[in-house]
Amino acid sequence: MKRVFSGVQPTGNIHIGNYLGALRQFVELQNENDCIYCIVDMHSITVPQDPRELRKHTLDVAALYMAIGVDPKKATVFVQSDVPGHAELSWVLTCSSYTGELSRMTQFKDKSKGKESAPTGLFSYPVLMAADILLYDSNVVPVGNDQKQHIELCRDLAIRVNNKYGETFVIPEGRFLKEGARIMALDDPASKMSKSAENPLSRISLLDDESKIKKSIMKSTTDSEGTIRFDIANKPGVSNLINIYSSFSGMSVEEIEKKYDGCGYGEFKKDLVQVTSESLKPIRERFEDIRNSDELIRILKDGAEKANAISEKTMARVKDRFGLGIGK
């Protein structure tokens, strides 16, 4: 049985990019693996957060995990800041990382673009992410394609420590869905769909109702050609919509192109609204029940307890290898 670890930041409501790119894998993996799914709230504070909103989103994301089908009887679900080992290991790994490699991370470059000075946490974000993964001796990390570079850094850090201090960490593998699983912003298909983008119409949240879904899709950026054809280089907006259609309906790109041959964007978009709304409605309904039940907090407390037990073992090993503390 493999150990699987992944997390989502509670920076806002989970959108269909997070869901189709990463979270959908969580559910299928939990049946045959030892899965640990975290709400990575400490990553969220790398950019300013309203404390009340952060806590609300933390519980929302936890409830959404379960609404999409994560089963707390099969998987461990908890909040990152409830397990101190993440911060502890992050510091140890920070001391084995280099500013050069961190400054090459494209996410840091994107998020700090145009700023004279960026928060240190934003810079060292990938080290905390490496700590999240290595703390649990994870074998597999299901994430979106945008995280490939961070997974590579995590592996490099683990190998570096193992070479210098002796076998300490399991070397994890990223699990990425096919290239098309990267969902782009609806108002700008050159940028990825993002929770924290300013324009709410740039994304579809899993909790959006039909009228918001309709508004986002009907206003989405396309092109002037007028044909439903998958061509990322020349038709990025339409290709992104085809991708979303295909992911929710299970139809292949070719089937969709054939179905909408000769149709205009209006008709295609209208159908996409329906396909998306039908897929998200049951998630939204389950979310309401779970979010309003007392069970949610109990599940997160139990999850943190289980995660802590694993994390303490790893930290004892790490401290021993590095000569930290007074020893046994």
> Active-site residue numbers?
111, 192, 195
The closest alpha carbon to 173, from 24, 1, 23, 4, belongs to: 4
- Alpha-helix runs per DSSP H in the chain: 16-18, 24-29, 41-44, 51-67, 85-94, 99-103, 106-112, 120-134, 148-165, 210-218, 236-249, 253-259, 265-291, 295-322
Could you say whether residue 17 binds ligand AQP (CB under 6 A)?
Answer: yes
- The answer to whether the annotation marks 162 as part of a ligand binding site is no
Residue 151: both structure tokens together: 């997974």
Minimum CB separation of residue 22 from ligand AQP in Å reads: 3
Q: How far apart are CA 265 and CA 288, in angstroms?
A: 33
Could you say whether residue 18 binds ligand AQP (CB under 6 A)?
Answer: yes
The closest alpha carbon to 77, from 42, 16, 19, 26, belongs to: 26
Nearer to ligand AQP (CB atom), residue 133 or residue 161: 133
Minimum CB separation of residue 90 from ligand AQP in Å reads: 16
Residue 196: both structure tokens together: 């924290």
Could you say whether residue 11 binds ligand AQP (CB under 6 A)?
Answer: yes
Residue 42: both structure tokens together: 């400490």
Could you say whether residue 205 binds ligand AQP (CB under 6 A)?
Answer: no
Could you say whether residue 228 binds ligand AQP (CB under 6 A)?
Answer: no
- The answer to whether the annotation marks 172 as part of a ligand binding site is no
- The answer to whether the annotation marks 17 as part of a ligand binding site is yes
Could you say whether residue 275 binds ligand AQP (CB under 6 A)?
Answer: no
Burial class, 325, CB count within 10 angstroms (exposed 0-12 / middle 13-18 / buried 19+):
exposed
- The answer to whether the annotation marks 48 as part of a ligand binding site is no
Could you say whether residue 133 binds ligand AQP (CB under 6 A)?
Answer: no
Site residues for ligand AQP per CB under 6 A? 8-9, 11, 17-18, 21-22, 143-144, 146-147, 181-183, 192-196
Binding-site residues for L-tryptophan: 132
